């Protein structure tokens, strides 16, 4: 018996979407490497780790699912300490997509809330950095950019939870319907 049971992502297109999102973050890392003339190995390791973690979602005990999500969030938070603030919304959305397959609706909203709080903390950190570099006349633009980014992220969280939740519920209902049809067919065959 394995300590960690995994299940594949039930919707391949969401797994491909996650990979596209991670690839776009990798592309940003490549641009950063070109501009700074160094390879951001830690950045790439973070993206690769999150990509590999997405290949199998834990199933079974909820402690393992909570630990899996905490590790994902911890990896992203580690990235923020390295200064990778520009990829955070994408990575947090990936965590929320995965949490929709791991948890009940209330727990999904808790994961989304944690991601939102961490995102807001990172935005405050970004604003502190930018406000020190900008003249006071440009701060209004930075504020407007920050507000727009927070609103877009909040809407993204809401739509991801709703959309993936609907997909998960339909898949669950289809599985229940298939199981009922199989048992009904077995009963009819026995009679």
Kindly report, residue by residue over 68-92, the tens digit of the pLDDT.
999 999 998 888 877 766 677 889 9
Q: What is the pTM of this model?
A: 0.79
pLDDT over 70 for what percent of the chain?
83
Q: Mind listing the pLDDT tens digit for each residue in 2-23?
A: 455 666 666 777 888 888 888 8
Q: Is the dihedral of CA 64, 67, 69, 75 positive or negative?
A: negative
Tokens of 136: 């006071």
How many domains, in total, are found in the chain? 1
> How confident is the model over 88-124, as pLDDT tens digits?
788 999 999 989 888 888 999 999 999 999 999 888 8
Element (H, E) at 182: helix 139-190
Whether 118 and 183 have beta carbons less than 8 Å apart is answered as no
Mean pLDDT of 11-37: 82
| Residues in CB range of 78: below 8 A, 6 or more apart | 46
- In this prediction, residue 6 carries a pLDDT of 64
Which of the listed ranges 25-34, 143-152, 171-180 does the model predict with the highest average pLDDT? 143-152
* Cα dihedral 50→52→54→56 (10° resolution): -150
Can you give the residue range of the structural domain that contains 94?
A: 5-190
Residue 184: pLDDT band (50, 70, 90) is very low
Share of the chain above pLDDT 90, in %: 23
Query: What was the pLDDT predicted at 26?
Result: 83
């Amino acid at each position: 018996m394995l300590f960690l049971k995994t299940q594949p992502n039930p919707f391949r297109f969401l797994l491909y979407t996650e990979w596209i999102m991670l690839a776009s973050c990798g592309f940003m890392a490549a641009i950063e490497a070109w501009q700074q003339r160094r390879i951001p190995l830690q950045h790439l390791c973070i993206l690769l780790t999150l990509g590999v973690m997405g290949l199998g979602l834990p199933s079974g005990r909820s402690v393992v699912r909570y630990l899996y999500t905490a590790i994902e969030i911890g990896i992203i938070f580690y990235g923020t300490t390295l200064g990778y603030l520009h990829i955070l919304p994408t990575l947090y959305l990936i965590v929320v997509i995965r949490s929709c397959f791991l948890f009940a609706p209330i727990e999904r909203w808790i994961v989304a809330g944690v991601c939102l709080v961490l995102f807001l903390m990172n935005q405050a950190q970004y604003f502190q950095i930018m406000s020190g570099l900008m003249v006071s006349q440009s701060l209004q633009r930075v504020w407007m950019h920050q507000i727009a980014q927070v609103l877009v992220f909040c809407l993204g969280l809401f739509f991801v939870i709703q959309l993936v939740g609907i997909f998960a519920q339909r898949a669950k209902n289809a599985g229940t319907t298939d199981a009922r049809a199989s048992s009904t067919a077995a009963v009819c065959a026995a009679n």
